Structure 1
Amino acid sequence: MAYINKSAGGSRGRPRDVELERRITSTVLEVLAEDGYEGVTFEAVARRCQTSKASLYRRWASKRDMVIAAVKAGPAHDSTAPLPRGATLREDLLNLCGRLERTMAAADSSTALMLLQAGLEDPELCDAIEESVGPTGARLPQSIIDAAVARGELPAGASPFAFEEVVGAVLLLRRANGLLIDNGYLAALVDTVIVPALAASARSATTLPFGIFSGHPEARSTIHNQETS
């Protein structure tokens, strides 16, 4: 489990300070938005919270664990509920898009962007967030693709690339620019872009890359080296 409350049930018998934990997790998101993932340190968070680093280490074993706890307590608070499963691929995709939109709406654009960048710096962070808080909507679970293939809605071999490259990116961009994101927009995105792209992905002549929200996109330096070698 990514969130480690070492004080709960520990030998020292320290009471769990809920208000302090709330202040810490809020501060983690503030530092993340201002200074990026690299700037989130135990020292920086403790200093801004006016508490000791020891109080943080008692709760979390690493920076990654602390960031996951902050995301779980903040933007992804509502993502801990099980994701409803639809009767069709379209319903499943709309459920995912709706969850991601609510998650992004719970944080300012700077925090959402910095979380994306943090995931690019630390791919295991993305995996841990998905595992800890449940589906955030940023990724397309293989189980949804498999169910759509079984229903005949997608051909075998469909890739999640289109969903994981497009949905999070456009929602983040529209939110950063104050553009409308409502049910009508999400339906248009799913119907005209995502579903056709998922169907076409199985016919791709090449192996599709990982999408930016997959947690494991290929780094630019690798691509650049290949092009210039």
Structure 2
Amino acid sequence: MSYPKSASATEPRQTRRGGRPRNDERESEILRVVTALLTERGYDGVTFEEVARRAGASKPTLYRRWKSKRDMVIAALKAGPAGREGPDDIDTGSLRGDLIALCRRLVTTMRSTDGQTALLLLQAGLEDPELCEEIERAVGPTGARLPTSVVDAAIRRGELPATADPFAFEEVAGAVLLLRRLNGLDTGDAYLEALVDSILIPALRAETTRPTQLPAGIFSGRPSAHSTTTSEGRP
């Protein structure tokens, strides 16, 4: 008497990928270790060796999940401090509304971690501009930058001149909100509205007649290196 062959006998076997199956709970534990290291030691203090030691994991396990320290840090931010629900795009229909929404988003991002970690990440971004780029790309706009879409929409509505540059927002908003966060000062809606109405909008609307492009804002990730000389060449 013959029996029908099983599916495993009649169908070609699928090649099994090497390594153990991914464990989401275990990965979350590792990412919490990464976040703790960021808080304690900053970006430079995060190493595969230390994460492996603290998490009780092997370095090969970490490298199977993340190709670089940058990837591992971004994953930790996305899972914790930079995690956010809701759409990424900012479009309230007005420049004022968009700026307030961006400031609120940045406050939320900063509140989700301690001020020291936010400062350390900013410093890391200054040393590694690609880290800033990857964070914005991976977790969505953090509120530290003024998206091109917001500027373009404001120009189309006639709220900003065609020469508008994001420098004023990126140099002022993030730095001020971080400083207030570090000192435990109010960043509620009343403050954000005052910041937008009295500082950010006037600065963005100012026509620039400079012959060269404005420098990058500190939160843009690509500020110029510090110079010890003045424009006249004196120290």
Q: TM-score, normalised by structure 1?
A: 0.89
Q: CA deviation at 1:209?
A: 0.7
Evaluate the alpha carbon distance shift between residue 87 and residue 203 of structure 1 in structure 2; reply closer, same or farther with a 3 A threshold.
Answer: farther
Q: Is the 8 A contact 2:145 2:220 kept in 1?
A: yes
Q: Is the 8 A contact 2:90 2:102 kept in 1?
A: no
Q: CA deviation at 1:203?
A: 4.4
Identity %: 58
Aligned to 2:74: 68
Q: CA deviation at 1:107?
A: 0.2
Q: Is the 8 A contact 1:75 1:103 kept in 2?
A: yes
Q: RMSD in angstroms over aligned alpha carbons?
A: 1.9
Aligned to 1:54: 60
Q: CA deviation at 1:168?
A: 0.9
1:39 aligned onto 2:37:
no
Q: CA deviation at 1:143?
A: 1.4
Question: 1: distance between equivalents of 2:23 and 2:151?
Answer: 43
1:194 aligned onto 2:203:
no
Moved more, 81-90 or 165-174: 81-90
Structure 2 counterpart of 1:127, one-letter code: E
1:224 aligned onto 2:228:
yes
Question: 2: distance between equivalents of 1:100 and 1:164?
Answer: 11
Q: CA deviation at 1:12?
A: 2.2
Match of 2:73, SS? helix
Question: 1: distance between equivalents of 2:108 and 2:16?
Answer: 35
Question: 2: distance between equivalents of 1:89 and 1:97?
Answer: 12
Evaluate the alpha carbon distance shift between residue 13 and residue 40 of structure 1 in structure 2; reply closer, same or farther with a 3 A threshold.
Answer: closer
Q: CA deviation at 1:171?
A: 0.9
1:90 aligned onto 2:109:
no
Match of 1:187, SS? helix
Q: CA deviation at 1:31?
A: 1.1
Higher share of residues assigned helix: 1
Question: 2: distance between equivalents of 1:225 and 1:84?
Answer: 40
- Cα shift readout 1:200-221 (whole Å, capped 9, x = no counterpart): 153445531100000101121x
Q: Is the 8 A contact 2:90 2:150 kept in 1?
A: no
- Cα shift readout 1:169-191 (whole Å, capped 9, x = no counterpart): 11111111111111111111111
The counterpart of 1:118, out of the listed 121, 124, 127, is 124
Aligned to 1:23: 29
Structure 2 counterpart of 1:38, one-letter code: D
Aligned length: 219
- Cα shift readout 1:147-175 (whole Å, capped 9, x = no counterpart): 11111101111110011011111111111
Match of 1:149, SS? helix
Question: 1: distance between equivalents of 2:122 and 2:207?
Answer: 24
Question: 2: distance between equivalents of 1:22 and 1:202?
Answer: 48
